[in-house]
């Protein structure tokens, strides 16, 4: 008994232990089941708003998070995410996948953030960028290996192993526990009953109840498993019968797609779009959507709410401007609805931004250039103000459009887009105006109108040229008129005769022990040498033979050159040995007396000296003919020669009050200002003018600066500011007086007061007293002597005076400025009475000789006479005699003819316009005779009256001229034919210094035909000499009525010249004319026209008048009107009428007569 009791107790202990183990095992299984259900069902639980789980499927986050772990994630506040945080997000490659990676970078653009991610265990960052809307949550922690269970439980076998079997074990244990409890209770109660009733039927009944409870318990366990399955499927099978299960799971929350959060849109094509979703396990599809929008994030009140939408988008055109928040939810057919999506914001903007303003340009250094300005900077910035859109921060870009000059001269255009409110570029096209404009684009692609245009001139070319002029009646513009004045380009631009060359240096041998004389250029590398020192002792080097010449265009203020005069000469000296002429007038001369006295065979030089001459007296001359001479004039054995350099008109002399004006040109941006400095001082800025007031010599430099900042070359000019005039001449007197001339004398004044040498004289005469008021209107003497040193005697002979006439003479002197002295006037002087028929020497002169012929014929020679008096001279019987080597013989005897007062008379070998003459047909030859014979050698002529009284001589120089020496230029090789002209004050015709060569280029066109191709012929037949100081008229008008062409034929002996007289009607509505002295002519044509409008009033050139020996021709009643298209207009302007009459003699020779009212 005791043994059994012990065994029973032991058995009870074992059962107690087993019971305890079973309870522990039971609770363990229960806990695992609960945890498993929580993991699996977490997306469906209300806790998902706070925390939810993901199973980590890969090892990309090792070792922070292991594969197979369960990651616990909370909803993310995307605005607070930072680098290093671990997040979950929808895979950009597959929207059904969720990725768990770490943030490695955060980018921010406005209010929007984007993120770059990387798996800790991956070698490189992810290839995508994550937006805020793609983020699902932020990682909290993970439980290792638990994910394996979660993944397994989602499979049928895993679910059976992990859920069903433990649930069955738990159910069995629970049944066993229930059974044991029931057994215990049944036994206790049975014992009680047995004790009381001993009724065996009651015990059997209880067992049946227990068995029924066991069966029900099993059914409950089975039902639980089936309900669990119902969470994942829409139907289930129990005991072979399939039945529907209630769906209480809503569709997932859609993902908003477009427009993105905080984006800008206009309503054109606006569609609100989100992702498609399906009901959970496709239980109750199709899903419908509800869309709401509001003007505030609280969605109260609503701006719009939709009905049931079948598509995952809704068009929204026409939405008014403003800020909107919108969200969406999805519902299944049982009206189970997801949560609302997070609200997204969209700004609707249909309003174009304003146009950009305040356009300007900037240099690279930040210097601002306003529109319309200029720059020489290759790099440039176009700049404008930022545009403020009605929705701040809305401007996305600007369109920049520019027009520019292309290198080929056309206009190009170009445009681009920029983010900021400026564009940096370069001027890689042409010079000139570049113009840009801009317009703004906002983020909704609304476009502003174009801005106003902004231009700039790109100018990298410096201004050129810059000229200097001086205001005042005494000056002209100071400009460089000399071509190749530095002789650096050889003799280009120059005409030469005799011995002239351009050299770089010269060495003159000297007798021992004297060192050789070396001459180098004044400046630069070249100089001109005029004359030579190497001539044989028996051959001349005459001063008038060697000439350097150039015709300078008018407008220069002054002339400056540097000379170096050299000579072997000693007394008696060559006088002159070096001199300068302007328009045939001698303005400077030297002889060897100015050099140091030397021994025989020793050469000396003056050294480089400056010659300056004021050109203001030449203000009306279209050309100024410069000629520089050097050589011998007394002997042939002791040579003289000279060098010249730096010949320029860029030199100024003016009084201290003179105002200098700078002017330049700049074709691109224009001149902004000028700068100058005096004597190397600091640069001064001026709009255009400045003064040099200090007395003395100054070097002034000046330049121009254009609006782009380019600077011109620096120009340099010597300015002499002279504030002191020469002293007054007080001893002018008449030494000799003739019927037609007067010789004056006076003492030379100084330059400044009584010292130095004046620059020039102005000598006048008049038949009434001369004072300061009428000095300029008195008659000029023409040529004046070059002033001598102060204190020396000066003389001048004035020709062309009238007999028995009272004259007054006046003089004043000027320096280079010019400052003029006071005038001095003589008392009255009366010329003696002279018979009207008497012609005195000097009254009629030989004025011009074309002794070399022309390219047409070497015999195409002519002689021009000039009347120096105010009266007509009868030339009948006058002779031109030629020296034959021993005596003068008659060459030409003039027929009955006249030369008008102050007029010209032309004697030609051939008729102008004929095949043997290069003279144009409009040139009038007063006498045509084949007796003209001016051989180019030993030329000596003299003019006599009918009684053989010598009136004038020409060229009393016997050296052979066949090589082109002497005045007049003949170059057979280069076809140059320049006539020999007399100086304006004729002087002695036997003096070579009173002649010069005509180098006026315009005369070729005006008076000569083309001739042989390439020929160059110059001269001034029957008009004033063009190389003279007096102005001339280029319109070729005759100053006197033209004379007929005459020959020596006995049938043509004329007493009078033809002339034309115009006759107006009383009402001046018609006109007539008379042509007199026409007995020698057989035909007449005429043309009346308005010379201003060139409209012809009358013209009979197509039906000439035939003359029958009458002395005059008369035309009447020519109506003063012009007609066109049947409409005639009365002519009221009679001042511009011109009548041209052409007379033709029996030999076909013509004369043209032209007259005006």
Which comes out higher in pLDDT, residue 218 or 259?
259
How many whole angstroms separate alpha carbon 1074 and alpha carbon 499?
57
Counted residue by residue, the chain has a size of 1157
Which range is least confidently modeled, 399-408, 544-553, 778-787? Answer: 778-787
pLDDT at residue 1055, as a whole number: 40
Where do the DSSP E strands lie in 459-606?
466-471, 495-497, 500-503, 506-508, 517-519, 527-530, 547-553, 558-567, 578-582, 585-590, 604-605
Q: Residue 539 has which token pair? A: 């051959």
Write the pLDDT tens digit of every residue in 467-484: 777 765 444 345 678 889
pLDDT at 938: 64
Max distance between CA atoms of the chain, in angstroms, equals 210
From the number of C-beta atoms within 10 Å of its C-beta (0-12, 13-18, 19+), residue 407 rates as exposed
353: which 2 tokens?
């931004």
Secondary structure class of 957 (helix, strand, coil)? coil
**C-alpha span between 969 and 996 (Å, rounded):** 9
Q: What is the mean pLDDT of residues 1124-1134?
A: 67
Mean of pLDDT values over 642-667: 84
Q: Give the CA angle between residues 212, 215, 219 to the nearest 5°.
A: 135
The pLDDT score that the predictor gives to residue 195 is 61
pLDDT tens column, 912-929: 999 999 999 989 999 999
Beta-bridge mates of residue 456? 373, 434
Residue spans of alpha helices (H) in 652-762: none
At 649 the pLDDT is 82
Choice between 1115 and 863, residue whose per-residue pLDDT is larger: 863
pLDDT in tens, 770-797: 999 999 899 888 767 878 888 889 999 8
User: What mean pLDDT is predicted for residues 307-318?
Assistant: 91
Please report the pLDDT score of residue 1029 as a whole number: 32
pLDDT of residue 1052: 31
> Would you state the pLDDT for residue 741?
84
- Does position 997 have pLDDT exceeding 90, yes or no? no
Given the DSSP bridges, would you call strands 454-458 and 373-375 parallel, antiparallel or unpaired? parallel
Residue 773 tokens read as 């008021």
In this prediction, residues 874-880 reach a mean pLDDT of 93
**CB burial string 565-597: b at 16+ within 10 A, e below:** bbbbbbeebbebbbbbbbbbbbbbbbbbeebee
pLDDT at 304: 92
**Per-residue pLDDT, 639:** 81
Name the most confidently modeled range: 408-417, 532-541, 1103-1112: 408-417
Write phi, then psi, for 175 (nearest 5 degrees).
-65, -45
Provide, rounded to the nearest whole percent, the portion of the chain with pLDDT above 90. Answer: 28
182-209 average pLDDT score: 58
Per-residue model confidence (pLDDT) at position 229? 44
Q: Can you give the pLDDT at residue 672?
A: 92
CA distance 125 to 1021: 102
Q: What is the mean pLDDT of the chain?
A: 80
Confidence tier at 454 by pLDDT (50, 70, 90): very high
CA gap 723, 707 in Å, rounded? 37
Q: What DSSP letter does each residue of 584-620 carry, written as one string?
A: TEEEEEE-GGGSPP--TT--EE--SEEEEEE-GGGTT
pLDDT band at 1080 (very low <50, low <70, confident <90, very high): confident
Sign of the dihedral defined by the CA atoms of residues 130, 132, 137, 138, in that order:
positive
pLDDT mean over 966-990: 79
pLDDT per residue as tens digits for the range 68-107: 788 888 888 888 888 899 999 888 877 778 888 999 998 8
pLDDT, tens only, 318-338: 889 889 999 999 998 888 899
Contact between residue 182 and residue 104 where contact means Cβ atoms under 8 Å apart: no
Q: What whole-number distance in Å separates Cα of residue 533 and Cα of residue 507?
A: 11
Confidence of residue 1154 (pLDDT cuts 50, 70, 90): confident
| Cβ within 8 Å of residue 973, ≥6 positions away | none
Assess whether pLDDT exceeds 90 at residue 1115. Answer: no
| pLDDT score for 1042 | 33
C-alpha–C-alpha distance, residues 1065 and 959, integer Å: 63
**pLDDT band of 807, cuts 50, 70, 90:** very high
Tokens of 814: 């000027």
Report how far residue 564's alpha carbon sits from residue 577's, in angstroms, rounded to the nearest whole number: 12
CB 501 within 8 Å of CB 528: yes
Mean pLDDT within 1007-1019: 89
379: pLDDT strictly greater than 80: yes
Residue 1037 has pLDDT above 50, yes or no: no
pLDDT at 215 over 70: no
Give me the domains of the chain, ranges plus CATH numbers: 50-154 (2.10.109.10), 256-348 (2.60.40.10), 360-458 (2.60.40.10), 462-479+650-723 (2.60.40.10), 482-649 (2.60.120.260), 733-830 (2.60.40.10), 844-1018 (2.60.40.1260), 1059-1155 (2.60.40.4070)
Of residues 1046 and 160, which shows the higher confidence score?
Answer: 160
Residue that wins the pLDDT comparison between 932 and 225 = 932
Stretch 232-258: mean pLDDT: 57
Distance CA 819, CA 726 (A): 7
Whether residue 377 is predicted with pLDDT greater than 60 in this model: the reply is yes
pLDDT tens per residue across span 9-42: 777 677 677 667 767 766 766 666 666 656 655 5
* Interatomic CA distance for residues 1015 and 1001, integer angstroms: 12
pLDDT range class, residue 155, cuts 50, 70, 90: low
Q: How far apart are CA 1025 and CA 904, in angstroms?
A: 11
- pLDDT tier at 615, thresholds 50, 70, 90: confident
pLDDT of 371 strictly over 90: yes
> Hey, what are 1067's tokens?
């009402």
Poorest-confidence range of 296-300, 867-871, 894-898?
Answer: 867-871
- 544 contacts 580 by C-beta, under 8 angstroms: no
pLDDT above 80: residue 888: yes
Q: Is the peptide bond before 513 cis (omega within 30 degrees of 0)?
A: yes
Note the pLDDT of residue 273.
95
Pick from 35, 55, 58: nearest CA to 162: 35
pLDDT at 45: 59
Angstrom distances, CA of residue 84 to CA of 52, 57, 92: 21, 21, 20
> Between these two residues, 1015 and 32, which has the higher pLDDT value?
1015
pLDDT of residue 397: 93
Asked whether 1054 and 936 are in contact (CB, 8 A), the reply is no
Residue 1155 has a pLDDT of 77
**Which region among 156-170, 957-971, 1138-1152 has the lowest average model confidence (pLDDT)?**
957-971
Helices 165-196 and 200-230 pack at an angle, to 10 degrees, of: 160
pTM of the model: 0.40
Three state DSSP letters for 394-459 = CEEEEEEEEEEECCCCCEEEEEEEECCCEEEEECCCCCEEEEEEEEEEECCCCECCCCCCEEEEEC
CB–CB of 977/969 below 8 Å?
A: yes
**158 falls in which pLDDT band (50, 70, 90)?**
low
């Amino acid at each position: 008994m005791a043994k059994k009791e012990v065994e029973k107790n032991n058995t009870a202990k074992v059962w107690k232990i087993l019971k305890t183990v079973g309870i522990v095992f039971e609770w363990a299984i229960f806990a695992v089941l609960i945890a498993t259900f929580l993991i699996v069902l977490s997306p469906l639980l209300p806790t998902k708003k706070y925390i939810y789980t993901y199973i980590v499927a890969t090892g990309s986050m090792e070792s922070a998070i292991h594969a197979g772990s369960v990651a616990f994630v909370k909803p993310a506040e995307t605005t607070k995410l930072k680098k290093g945080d671990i997040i979950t997000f929808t895979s950009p490659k597959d929207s059904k996948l969720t990725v768990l990676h770490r943030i490695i970078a955060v980018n921010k653009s406005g209010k929007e953030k984007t993120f770059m991610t990387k798996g800790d265990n991956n070698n490189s960052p992810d290839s995508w960028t994550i937006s805020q809307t793609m983020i699902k949550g932020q990682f909290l922690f993970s439980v290792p290996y638990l994910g394996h269970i979660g993944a397994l439980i989602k499979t049928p076998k895993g679910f059976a192993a992990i859920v069903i079997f433990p649930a069955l074990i738990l159910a069995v244990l629970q049944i066993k526990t229930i059974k044991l409890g029931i057994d215990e209770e049944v036994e206790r109660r049975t014992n009680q009953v047995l004790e009381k009733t001993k009724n065996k039927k009651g015990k059997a009944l209880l067992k049946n109840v227990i068995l029924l409870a066991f069966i029900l318990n099993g059914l409950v366990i089975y039902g639980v498993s089936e309900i669990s399955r119902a969470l994942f499927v829409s139907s289930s099978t129990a005991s072979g019968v399939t039945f529907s299960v209630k769906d209480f799971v809503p569709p997932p929350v859609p993902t908003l797609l477009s427009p993105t959060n905080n984006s800008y849109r206009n309503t054109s094509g606006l569609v609100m779009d989100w992702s498609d979703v399906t009901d959970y396990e496709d239980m109750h599809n199709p899903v419908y959507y509800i869309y709401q929008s509001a003007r505030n994030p609280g969605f109260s009140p609503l701006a719009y709410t939709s009905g049931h939408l079948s598509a995952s988008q809704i068009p929204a055109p026409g939405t008014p401007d403003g800020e909107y928040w919108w969200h969406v939810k999805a519902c299944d057919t049982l009206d189970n609805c997801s949560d609302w999506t997070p609200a997204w914001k969209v700004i609707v903007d249909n309003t174009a931004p304003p146009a950009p303003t305040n356009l300007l340009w900037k240099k690279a250094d930040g210097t601002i250039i306003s529109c319309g300005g200029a720059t020489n900077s290759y790099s440039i910035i176009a700049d404008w103000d930022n545009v403020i859109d009605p929705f701040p921060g809305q401007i996305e870009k600007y369109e920049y459009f520019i027009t520019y000059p292309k290198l080929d001269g056309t206009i190009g255009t170009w445009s681009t887009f920029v983010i900021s409110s400026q564009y940096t570029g370069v001027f890689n096209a042409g010079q000139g105006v570049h113009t840009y404009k801009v317009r703004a684009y906002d983020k909704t692609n609304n476009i502003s109108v174009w801005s106003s245009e902004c231009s700039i001139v790109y100018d990298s070319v410096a201004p050129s040229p810059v000229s200097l002029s001086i205001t005042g009646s005494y000056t002209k513009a100071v400009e460089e008129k000399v071509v190749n004045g530095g002789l650096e380009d050889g003799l280009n631009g120059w005409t030469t005769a005799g011995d002239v060359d351009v050299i770089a240096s010269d060495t003159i041998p000297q007798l021992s022990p004297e060192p050789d004389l070396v001459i180098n250029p004044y400046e630069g590398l070249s100089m001109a040498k005029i004359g030579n020192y190497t001539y044989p002792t028996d051959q001349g080097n005459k001063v008038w033979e060697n000439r350097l010449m150039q015709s300078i265009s008018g407008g220069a203020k002054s002339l400056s050159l540097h000379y170096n005069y050299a000579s072997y000469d000693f007394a008696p000296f060559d006088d002159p040995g070096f001199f300068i002429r302007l328009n045939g007038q001698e303005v400077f001369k030297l002889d060897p007396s100015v050099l140091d006295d030397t021994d025989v065979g020793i050469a000396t030089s003056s050294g480089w000296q400056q010659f300056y001459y004021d050109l203001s007296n030449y203000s009306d001359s279209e050309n100024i003919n410069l000629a520089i001479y050097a050589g011998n004039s007394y002997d042939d054995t002791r040579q003289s020669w000279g060098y010249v350099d730096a010949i320029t008109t860029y030199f100024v002399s003016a009084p201290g009050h003179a105002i200098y004006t700078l002017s330049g040109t700049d074709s691109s941006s224009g001149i902004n200002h000028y700068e100058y400095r005096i004597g190397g001082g600091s640069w001064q800025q001026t709009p255009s003018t400045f003064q040099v007031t200090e007395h003395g010599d100054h070097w002034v430099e000046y330049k121009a600066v254009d609006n782009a900042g380019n600077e011109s070359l620096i120009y340099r000019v010597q300015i002499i500011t002279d504030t002191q005039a020469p002293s007054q001449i007080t001893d002018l007197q008449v030494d000799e007086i003739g019927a037609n001339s007067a010789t004056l004398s006076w003492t030379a004044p100084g330059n400044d007061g009584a010292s130095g040498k004046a620059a020039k004289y102005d000598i006048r005469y008049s038949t009434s007293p001369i004072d300061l008021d009428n000095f300029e209107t008195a008659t000029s003497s023409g040529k004046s002597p070059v002033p001598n040193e102060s204190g020396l005697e000066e003389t001048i002979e004035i020709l062309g005076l009238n007999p028995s006439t009272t004259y007054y003479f006046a003089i004043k002197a000027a320096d280079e400025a010019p400052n003029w002295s006071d005038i001095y006037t003589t008392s009255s002087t009366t010329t003696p009475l002279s018979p009207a028929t008497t012609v005195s020497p000097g009254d009629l002169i030989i004025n011009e000789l074309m002794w070399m012929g022309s390219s047409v014929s070497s015999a195409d020679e002519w002689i021009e006479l000039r009347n120096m008096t105010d009266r007509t001279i009868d030339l009948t019987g006058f002779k031109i005699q030629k020296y034959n080597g021993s005596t003068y013989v008659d060459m030409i005897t003039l027929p009955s003819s006249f030369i008008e007062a102050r007029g010209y008379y032309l004697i030609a070998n051939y008729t102008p316009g004929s095949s043997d003459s290069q003279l144009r047909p409009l040139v009038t030859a007063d006498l045509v005779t084949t007796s003209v014979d001016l051989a180019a050698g030993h030329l000596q002529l003299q003019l006599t009256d009918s009684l053989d009284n010598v009136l004038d001589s020409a060229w009393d120089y016997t050296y052979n001229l066949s090589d082109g020496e002497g005045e007049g230029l003949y170059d057979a090789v280069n076809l140059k034919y320049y006539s020999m002209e007399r100086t304006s004050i004729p002087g002695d015709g036997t003096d070579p210094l009173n002649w010069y060569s005509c180098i006026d280029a315009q005369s070729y066109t005006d008076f000569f035909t083309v001739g042989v191709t390439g020929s160059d012929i110059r001269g001034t037949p029957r008009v004033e000499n063009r190389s003279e100081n007096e102005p001339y008229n280029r319109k070729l008008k005759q100053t006197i009525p033209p004379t007929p062409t005459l020959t020596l034929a006995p049938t043509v002996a004329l007493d009078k010249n033809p002339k034309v007289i115009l006759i107006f009607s009383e009402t001046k509505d018609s006109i007539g004319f008379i042509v007199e002295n026409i007995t020698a002519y057989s035909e007449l044509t005429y043309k009346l026209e308005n010379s201003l409008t060139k409209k012809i009033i009358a013209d009979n050139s197509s039906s000439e008048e035939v003359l029958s020996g009458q002395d005059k021709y008369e035309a009447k009643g020519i109506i003063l009107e012009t007609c066109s298209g049947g409409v005639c207009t009365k002519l009221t302007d009679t001042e511009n009428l011109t009548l041209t009459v052409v007379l033709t003699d029996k030999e076909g020779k013509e004369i043209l007569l032209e007259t005006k009212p």
